[in-house]
Amino acid sequence: MKQNRKGLLLVISGPAGVGKGTINLSLISRNNDIRMSVSATTRAPRPGEIDGVHYFFQSEEEFQNMINNGAFLEYMRVFNTHYYGTPKSFVEQELEEGRSVILEIDVQGAMRVKAAYPDAVLIFIAPPSMSELKSRLIHRGTESSEAIDRRFETAYEEMQHVNRYDYVVVNDILDLAIARTEHIIAAERCKVSRNGELIEKLQGGRSAL
Amino acid sequence: MKQNRKGLLLVISGPAGVGKGTINLSLISRNNDIRMSVSATTRAPRPGEIDGVHYFFQSEEEFQNMINNGAFLEYMRVFNTHYYGTPKSFVEQELEEGRSVILEIDVQGAMRVKAAYPDAVLIFIAPPSMSELKSRLIHRGTESSEAIDRRFETAYEEMQHVNRYDYVVVNDILDLAIARTEHIIAAERCKVSRNGELIEKLQGGRSAL
Summarised one tens digit per residue, pLDDT across range A62-76 is: 999 999 999 999 999
Using a CB-CB distance cutoff of 8 angstroms, which residues of chain A are in contact with residue B130?
Answer: 202, 205-208
Task: Say which residue, A128 or B3, is predicted with more confidence.
Answer: A128
**Quick one: closest CA in A to B137, which residue?**
A209
**Quick one: closest CA in B to A145, which residue?**
B209
pLDDT digit string, tens, across residues A188-205 = 999 999 999 999 999 986
Using a CB-CB distance cutoff of 8 angstroms, which residues of chain B are in contact with residue A152?
Answer: 208-209
d(CA B102, CA A135): 41
**Quick one: closest CA in B to A126, which residue?**
B202
Judged by CB atoms closer than 8 Å, whether chains meet at A183 and B180 is answered as no
d(CA B185, CA B98): 13
Contact A185, A30 (CB under 8 A): no
Task: Number of A to B CB contacts under 8 A, please give it.
Answer: 148
**Quick one: closest CA in B to A164, which residue?**
B192
Using a CB-CB distance cutoff of 8 angstroms, which residues of chain B are in contact with residue A3?
Answer: 168-170, 180
Judged by CB atoms closer than 8 Å, whether chains meet at A192 and B149 is answered as no
Contact A9, A119 (CB under 8 A): yes
Contact A85, A40 (CB under 8 A): yes
Could you tell me the pLDDT band of residue B1, with boundaries at 50, 70 and 90?
low
**Quick one: closest CA in A to B167, which residue?**
A191
In chain B, how long is the greatest CA-to-CA distance? 72
Query: HSE on the CB side for A111, CA within 13 Å?
Result: 8
Q: Region B169-176: what's the mean pLDDT?
A: 96
Strands B100-104 and B34-36: parallel
Could you tell me the pLDDT band of residue B48, with boundaries at 50, 70 and 90?
very high
Which member of B126, B179, B188 has the closest CB to residue A202?
B126
Q: Region B150-165: what's the mean pLDDT?
A: 92
Which member of A1, A182, A188 has the closest CB to residue B128?
A1
Judged by CB atoms closer than 8 Å, whether chains meet at A186 and B205 is answered as no
pLDDT of residue A137: 87
Using a CB-CB distance cutoff of 8 angstroms, which residues of chain B are in contact with residue A167?
Answer: 187, 190-192
Q: Shortest CA distance to B13 belongs to which of B172, B188, B167?
A: B167
- Phi and psi at residue B31, to the nearest 5°: -130, 110
pLDDT of residue B98: 93
Contact B56, B38 (CB under 8 A): yes
CA distances to A32, A43, A90 from A72, in Å: 25, 17, 10
Judged by CB atoms closer than 8 Å, whether chains meet at B133 and A203 is answered as no
Using a CB-CB distance cutoff of 8 angstroms, which residues of chain B are in contact with residue A130?
Answer: 202, 205-208
Closest CA–CA distance from residue A140 to any residue of chain B (Å): 17
Task: Say which residue, B117 or A206, is predicted with more confidence.
Answer: B117
d(CA B167, CA B76): 24
**Quick one: closest CA in A to B127, which residue?**
A202
Using a CB-CB distance cutoff of 8 angstroms, which residues of chain B are in contact with residue A206?
Answer: 130, 156
pLDDT digit string, tens, across residues B59-106 = 999 999 999 999 999 999 988 889 999 999 999 999 999 999 999 999
The ipTM, to two decimals, is 0.90
- Is CATH 3.40.50.2300 the right assignment for the domain spanning B9-37+99-208? no
d(CA B175, CA A189): 17
d(CA A106, CA A104): 7
The full set of domain ranges for chain A reads: 9-37+99-208
pLDDT of residue B186: 96
Please name the amino acid found at residue A137.
Answer: L
Average pLDDT taken over every residue of chain B: 92
Using a CB-CB distance cutoff of 8 angstroms, which residues of chain B are in contact with residue A129?
Answer: 1, 201-202, 205, 208
Model-level pTM? 0.92
Contact A87, A71 (CB under 8 A): yes
Which member of A130, A192, A206 has the closest CB to residue B167?
A192
